[in-house]
């Protein structure tokens, strides 16, 4: 049975799944009171090269197959149940290594199994696919069975977002949000805008105002995530006061905002910290 390679003081567990060709990929189990959540990878490495992301440093090694994606889920779930047989099947976020929509066919096949009554038996709302704005995949998002969508936003300004997410040079915000308008949302379903708060970069009153303008015609929730530094990163985490003040600014513009607590950062298992080329 797969066992965690590292466990955080907050209960977050990081798993490294060996693959048949000698490569490996990471998954992370994050504990929650009611139902845990597992963060799955869709590729070994990633081609998108986001500057704030440790995985981006690896480049793309290869796509995972749908079987490899499903195996991560089943293996982590099995270990979780071995620790406590009363645990419910974990929810899934595709926020591990890779740009999920860049491996669309295998992702789609994996989701089809995960939500099938004879397969993973999950509801589509228990699954979230996160994208950096990979437009060809975004345009096909409605093929994914009604799962939740999360967009790595990080700035309302193209010049700044392009610095963080080079893909934005090819598909700027206007095109990304035009594709988002076509995504079918059920009642009570929102697009999650993931927003890394990076010290001295993207948390001014001007950013809040531009975000309000950008999101005004979209049903969104903003998830604020304080930046998780990793070795070699050129940015830092803002202070708690700065984070709180940015949150207040956004709320004053009537945006729905959540501040995510960072879990697993002591074992390099938090958002943007996964990299299987670094010896743990």
Judge whether 271 counts as a catalytic residue.
Answer: yes
Residue 26 in the binding site for ligand SF4 (CB under 6 A): no
Residue 137 in the binding site for ligand SF4 (CB under 6 A): no
Q: Report the distance separating Cα 69 and Cα 91, nearest Å.
A: 14
Q: Which of 46, 53, 193, 271 is an active site residue?
A: 271
Residues composing the chain:
280
Phi-psi category of 188—alpha, beta or left, where left has phi over 0 and alpha has psi -120 to 50?
left
Judge whether 26 counts as a catalytic residue.
Answer: yes
Q: Report the distance separating Cα 165 and Cα 154, nearest Å.
A: 9
The residue among 91 and 276 lying less far from ligand SF4, judged by its C-beta, is 276
| Residue 209: CB atoms within 10 Å | 15
How many residues bind ligand SF4 (CB under 6 A)? The answer is: 12
User: How far, in whole angstroms, is CA 151 from its chain's centroid?
Assistant: 8
CA distances 2 to 50, 134, 236, 264, 272, Å, are 29, 32, 34, 19, 23
Residues 177-236 that bind ligand SF4 (CB under 6 A): none
Residue 132 in the binding site for ligand SF4 (CB under 6 A): yes
| Residue 181: CB atoms within 10 Å | 8
Residue 99 in the binding site for ligand SF4 (CB under 6 A): yes
Segment interacting with ligand SF4, rule: CB under 6 A, options 53-61, 107-115, 118-126, 190-198: 53-61
Residues 56-95 that bind ligand SF4 (CB under 6 A): 56
Shortest Å, Cβ 182 to ligand SF4: 21
Q: Please give the residue ranges that form the binding site for ligand SF4 (CB under 6 A).
A: 46, 48-50, 53, 55-56, 97-99, 132, 272
Known catalytic residues?
Answer: 26, 271
């Amino acid at each position: 049975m797969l066992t965690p390679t590292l466990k955080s003081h907050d209960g977050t567990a990081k798993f490294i799944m060996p693959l048949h060709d000698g490569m490996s990929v990471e998954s992370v189990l994050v504990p929650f009171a009611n139902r845990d959540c597992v963060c799955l990878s869709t590729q070994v490495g990633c081609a998108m090269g986001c500057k704030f992301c440790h995985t981006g440093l690896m480049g793309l090694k290869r796509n995972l197959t749908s079987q490899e994606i499903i195996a991560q889920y089943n293996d982590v779930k099995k270990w979780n149940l071995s620790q406590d047989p009363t645990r419910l099947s974990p929810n899934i976020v595709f926020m591990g290594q890779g740009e999920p929509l860049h491996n669309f066919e295998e992702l789609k096949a994996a989701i089809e199994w995960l939500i099938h009554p004879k397969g993973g038996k999950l509801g589509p709302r228990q699954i979230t696919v996160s994208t950096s704005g990979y437009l060809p995949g975004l345009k096909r998002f409605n093929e994914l069975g009604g799962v939740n969508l999360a967009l790595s936003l990080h700035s309302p300004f193209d010049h700044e977002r392009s610095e963080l997410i080079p893909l934005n040079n090819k598909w700027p915000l206007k095109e990304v949000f035009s594709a988002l308008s076509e995504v079918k949302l059920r009642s009570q379903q929102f697009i999650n805008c993931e927003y890394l708060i990076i010290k001295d970069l993207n948390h001014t009153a001007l950013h809040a105002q531009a975000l309000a303008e950008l999101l005004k015609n979209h049903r969104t929730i903003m998830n604020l995530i304080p930046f998780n530094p990793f070795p070699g990163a050129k940015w830092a985490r803002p202070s708690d006061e700065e984070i709180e003040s940015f949150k207040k600014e956004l709320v004053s513009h009537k945006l729905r905002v959540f501040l995510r607590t960072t879990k697993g950062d002591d074992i390099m298992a938090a958002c943007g910290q996964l990299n299987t080329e670094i010896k743990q």
